[in-house]
Each structure stands twice: as C-alpha cells, then as structure tokens.
Amino acid sequence: MGWNSLDDMDLAGKRVLVRVDINVPVEDGKVTDDTRIQRIAPTIADIRAKGGLPVLLAHFGRPKGKVVAEMSLQPLVPALEAVFDASVMFCADCRGPAAEAAVAALQEGEVLLLENTRFHAGEEKNDAALAAEMAKLGDIYCNDAFSAAHRAHASTEALAQLLPACAGRLMQAELTALESALGQPQRPVTAVVGGAKVSTKLELLGNLVEKVDTLVIGGGMANTFLAAQGIDVGKSLCEHEMTPTATEILAKAADTGCTILLPSDVVVAREFKAGAENETLAADACPADAMILDAGPATVAAVSDALTASKTLIWNGPMGAFEIAPFDAATNAAASKAAELTKAGRLISVAGGGDTVAALNQAGAAESFTYISTAGGAFLEWMEGKTLPGVAALGQ
C-alpha cells in the first residue's frame, strides 16, 4: 500500500506530530462524548510505548482563521488525560516560540496538545509557511485524522511533505478497511446506496457502477430511478430534473456489467409520520396521493439474496425513511442480514455516512459489521473514487 504506518517509523526519543480529529461535543466546559478521543488512544499509546513524544495537532469547530475563545482545545485536556492515562500539557498556539518551548519541555510519557490549528488563516489555505513553522515542532508526522484527509490543509497536507510521514492506527484501520471494500475487494461486491437524493450522490453512483458487481439503489433516490423508467411515484420524494442523469447511470451500468437492483415493491403512506397508515404495493403502483417511504419485502428478499451471493458489501445511505417506524423495516432487515453474514465469516461489510451509521446502530447491526466509518465527508469522497490529499501526502 502507498503509505507508511507507525510500524515503519523509529519512534524512540522522537517528537511525533500527530494530526487527530478530536471534534468532540463539549457542554459547560466538559466533554460529553469521548468516542473520538477513545479512537485515537491506540496511536498515542503506541507512540508512548515506543519512547516517542506525542504532540497533538487538531482543529476544533470553524473559527475561520481567528482566535475564538469558545473554540479553544484547552477544555479537552482533562478528557484526554483520562482516556490516555497520561499527563497532557497544553500550549495556546500550534506554532511559534511558545509552542517550540512547550515541545522542548516535554518529558517522556507526557503528551502535548497544541491549540486549534484553525486559529491561523494559513491552516485552511494549506499555507507552506505555517506548515514549516509546525514542522519545527516535530521529527515525525503521523496523521490519524482520516475524517480530515479530504481537505488539503497545512496540518493535513503541506506539513506531511516536510517530515517523514505515516498513518496512525485509526487512519491505518480505516484505509485497510476501505481498501478491502473497493480497492482490491473479494468478489462479488455489492454496494447499497440509499438516502434522500440522487443529486448528492451522483459521483458516488458513477464510481460504483464501474467498481461493483451489484448496485442496490434504495431510499428516496430510488424514486428518481423509478421515475426515469416512466413510473409515476405520486407524492414521493423525487428529483424529476435528475431523471436523465438516472437514465445515464443505468446505461453506464449496462456497459460495465454492473447489475442494478431497484425496488420491485414499496411501502407507501399518505403522511410522513411514525406509525402512519401504510400499504405495500408493486413499485409501479404508488397512488397519486401517496409517497414511497420504504422498500417492500420482495425487495428486501432480493437484497438478501444479493448479499448472500457476495463476499464484500459497501453501504452508504438508508433504504427508507428509517427515522420513523415502520419505514425502517427494509433498512433493518438488510442490516441484520449483512450482520449475520459478516458474523458467519462470509461477508466483509463496510459502511459509512452520518445517517447510515445511525440507522445501523438503531438496527443493532453496527457492531457486527467489519468496519463502520465515522469519517463523513472523507468517506464519501473516497467512495467517489477521489484521491484524498491527506492520504496521498503519506505516500512513500
């Protein structure tokens, strides 16, 4: 693979600049959910165990190049100390004399947290001068923030060019999982793409029809594909202006030999609310005054068959309006099937996306998946086949 990991670095006595994502929720000065801190803990522990000195670089919120007191990273120090079980020093700048002094004073076993990188306008501009100042603070650069890797910023891209660079453990796990799903996957590969709109997932669909064997199109976006085939979808969520694009995607799939699975039956209702009166109909039988809110059981059976015949699954976007029961049924059933096959060692399952992760958690399936990406935008851009600047910069 085109990147180094911590295993490739000699860390003893080295100052390691670690780019992390610690955008944790804070209320009244206290961290209310430390998941993101937990996820970088193995990287910090590994660096310390090998005698390295971790110096953390991170952004927090969107201060837009100015010092914004409410977006200081300082309140995170107690939570970092608790999770890392280490003393965490803090410096109120991520560059300059104060940061240089803080790094020089750092003792083995300790961790140093530098202030929000986005307090400097140069961060989001991928500014070479800012990166050069940050590079003075370390001997090695380690990026453990996959979720920020789709942005070429000074602390994710320019800095990586100036020091020996590697991926942290979380980044490594993410890249390995993604590589196993779309890079060199075990075939057949099925992709499930759902969610609200085709327009937000065009590039994703375009890339997937080239790479996967079966593409399941579900959720609201399936309505646009049904409409493209001349089917009346009533009051369903549908981007009628996108129907030519949907037709193009179907044609491209025919060219590449990708099988497209669209809903054959649907669950319709007249109201968008929990427990709304509903009925299951053929996909081409939605009444003019009703809307499609979920896929039906025949569709779920077809998706289950596709998953059973597959070795790899990549999933983004729920199959229905999963937030309101009973329109979570198709998403839950497909999620349970994928979880069952994964547990049996028959499927590699990778999923990502804000609502997708919520839906898989709600279905109780998330823990059984091979990998769940919480990286949001970076995950989507990677699924679209884009090169992520923060990953490319770790190249050997």
Binding site for Mg ion (CB under 5 A): 354-355
Shortest Å distance, C-beta 366 to ligand ADP: 12
> Tokens 């959910």 appear where?
33
Backbone dihedral angles phi then psi of residue 22, each to the nearest 5 degrees: -120, 40
Closest by CA to 16, choosing from 121, 122, 169, 150, is 169
- CA angle in degrees (0–180, nearest 5) for 295-241-377: 65
**Distance between CA atoms of 128 and 310, rounded to whole angstroms?**
46
**Region of residue 248 (phi > 0: left; psi between -120 and 50: alpha; otherwise: beta):** alpha
- CA angle in degrees (0–180, nearest 5) for 319-363-371: 85
Shortest Å distance, C-beta 220 to ligand ADP: 4
Q: Which residues contact 344 (CB under 8 A, 6 or more apart)?
A: none
**Distance between CA atoms of 216 and 303, rounded to whole angstroms?**
7
Shortest Å distance, C-beta 355 to Mg ion: 4
Shortest Å distance, C-beta 355 to ligand ADP: 3
Which among 197, 235, 252, 311 is annotated as catalytic?
Answer: 197
Q: In sequence order, what DSSP letters do the residues of 125-171 get, joined into one string?
A: TT-HHHHHHHHTT-SEEEE--GGGTTS--IIIIIGGGTS-EEE-HHH
Assess whether 36 carries a catalytic annotation: yes
Which listed range, 93-101, 146-154, 315-323, 386-394, lies at the site for ligand ADP (CB under 6 A)? 315-323
Kindly tell me which residue out of 40, 217, 268, 292 binds ligand ADP, with binding defined by CB under 6 A. 292
**Distance between CA atoms of 367 and 347, rounded to whole angstroms?**
14
**Distance between CA atoms of 220 and 264, rounded to whole angstroms?**
14
Residues numbered 198 to 227 that lie near ligand ADP (CB under 6 A) are 219-220
Q: Which is nearer to ligand ADP, 52 or 320 (CB)?
A: 320
Q: Which is nearer to Mg ion, 158 or 380 (CB)?
A: 380
Assess whether 354 carries a catalytic annotation: yes
From ligand ADP, Mg ion, none, which one binds at residue 323 (CB under 5 to 8 Å depending on kind)? ligand ADP
Regarding 318 and contact with ligand ADP (CB under 6 A), the answer is yes
Regarding 323 and contact with ligand ADP (CB under 6 A), the answer is yes
Please name the residue ranges forming H helices in 213-353.
Answer: 219-228, 243-256, 297-308, 329-343
From ligand ADP, Mg ion, none, which one binds at residue 219 (CB under 5 to 8 Å depending on kind)? ligand ADP
Residues numbered 352 to 371 that lie near ligand ADP (CB under 6 A) are 353-356
How many residues does this entry show for the chain? Answer: 396
Which among 36, 95, 151, 169 is annotated as catalytic?
Answer: 36
Regarding 189 and contact with ligand ADP (CB under 6 A), the answer is no
Regarding 316 and contact with ligand ADP (CB under 6 A), the answer is yes
Which among 65, 234, 354, 385 is annotated as catalytic?
Answer: 354
Q: Which is nearer to ligand ADP, 46 or 294 (CB)?
A: 294
Regarding 237 and contact with ligand ADP (CB under 6 A), the answer is yes
CB distance 133 to 117 below 8 Å: no
Regarding 52 and contact with ligand ADP (CB under 6 A), the answer is no
> Tokens 């779920």 appear where?
300
Regarding 195 and contact with ligand ADP (CB under 6 A), the answer is yes
Q: So which residues are the catalytic ones?
A: 36, 197, 354, 377
